[in-house]
Amino acid sequence: MARERIYPFAVASVRSMENKLLTKQKLMQMAEAKDAEEALRFLQDSDYGKTQVKDVHDFETMIQANLEEAYQAVGKLIPNETFMDIFRFKNDYHNVKVLIKEEISRVNGKKFMIQGGSIPVEELRKFFRERNYLEMPHIDAKAVEEAIELYAKTKNGRYIDSVLDKACFQVMSDAAEKLGIEYVRKYVQKLADVTNLKTLFRIRTLHRTEQELLESIVPGGELSAETLVRALKSDSAVSVLKETAYGNLCGESMEQGFTAFEKACDDYLMDYVKEAKYKTLTPEPVAAYILAKETEAKCVRIIMTCKLHEIDAETIKERVREAYV
């Protein structure tokens, strides 16, 4: 897809779809609900209500159905498979991780599988069991076998996650470069960077090793492994990172704990996503809509999970991410 190509119909369509996104005010109302059942009723009165559930614990079914509908709708607007798949790959790789762990533990992982990948869940399960990588062209066969082998040697499940996360980001980065849309390429780059920053934070907090950090860094970001290692070894990670493009992000939130930092990272990405609001003909608003839906889904998941655990409204509101609308 050429960079200069315009999509007036696609942009007009997503502008209309944006009207159904949950506003920050609506999310706050959900957070203030007296219990999970009342929060679910707020959700049922929104676009999520197209999928009805009988049990409040089944709210994830509503989220997955709503996301899949968004993927399908946007996929019809942009006649380019790669455009949508870039946002779907992470779901494919999540499901492959579940399937590997299912195979190892012999415990059915169906409830952990998620919709919204480039390969339907049941097809992916079949292809994975057969090791039919021709039908899973974006799944790195070497990475899958490496993850299984490393687990067999170490019995440490983190290798399954780290090896496949690296493979996923490599596929996303390669696809974004090939697509040729700078907005998407830059988003994938920023996503890789904040993923690595969150990994750095976790490893520093748990006093883990440099080797574990290096094994966990995903490709595609602007931050170098050298910079991340220096931040790990330094008495102050913030002082090392302040000279990077993420200086403000890290300086304002790294000392507030992981929950606050994770939210700050998500809000940082949303600030970038919102730049698409000023585009009128090019595909940026279409990509932004999908990213907005994914952030919205994360917010709904946070609220409902917190409500089920009877966490107070003020704490929930502190955790809710910035909304697109």
Task: For residue 98, name the pLDDT band (cuts at 50, 70, 90).
Answer: very high
- Pair 212, 277 in one domain: yes
Number of domains, the chain: 3
Longest dimension (CA), the chain: 54
Give 156-206 pLDDT, tens digit per residue.
Answer: 999 999 999 999 999 999 999 999 899 999 999 999 999 999 999 999 999
Q: What is the mean pLDDT of the chain?
A: 93
φ, ψ dihedrals at 136, nearest 5°: -125, 60
Output the domain CATH number for residue 44. Answer: 1.10.132.50
Residue 322 lies in a domain: yes
- Pair 176, 93 in one domain: yes
Q: Which amino acid is at 146?
A: E
Residue 49 lies in a domain: yes
Give 283-317 pLDDT, tens digit per residue.
Answer: 899 999 999 999 999 999 999 999 999 999 999 99
Task: For residue 5, name the pLDDT band (cuts at 50, 70, 90).
Answer: low
278 burial (CB, 10 Å; 0-12 / 13-18 / 19+) is exposed
Give 63-89 pLDDT, tens digit per residue.
Answer: 999 999 999 999 888 877 688 899 999
- Pair 193, 269 in one domain: yes
Residue 7 lies in a domain: no
Structure tokens at 159: 């290798």
Residue 239 to residue 174: CA distance in whole angstroms: 32
- Pair 68, 30 in one domain: yes
Give 14-38 pLDDT, tens digit per residue.
Answer: 999 999 999 999 999 999 999 999 9
- Pair 103, 160 in one domain: yes
Q: How far is CA 109 from CA 83, 185, 250, in A?
A: 29, 33, 36
Q: Which domain holds residue 224?
A: 182-282
Among residues 247, 266, 282, which one ends one of the domains?
Answer: 282
- Pair 47, 120 in one domain: no
pLDDT at 303: 97
Of 103-107, 175-179, 252-256, 318-322, which range is least confident? 252-256
- Pair 175, 189 in one domain: no
- Pair 190, 275 in one domain: yes
Among residues 117, 152, 180, which one ends one of the domains?
Answer: 180
pLDDT at 8: 87
Residue 140 to residue 58: CA distance in whole angstroms: 32
pLDDT at 214: 97
Residue 83 lies in a domain: no
- Pair 171, 190 in one domain: no
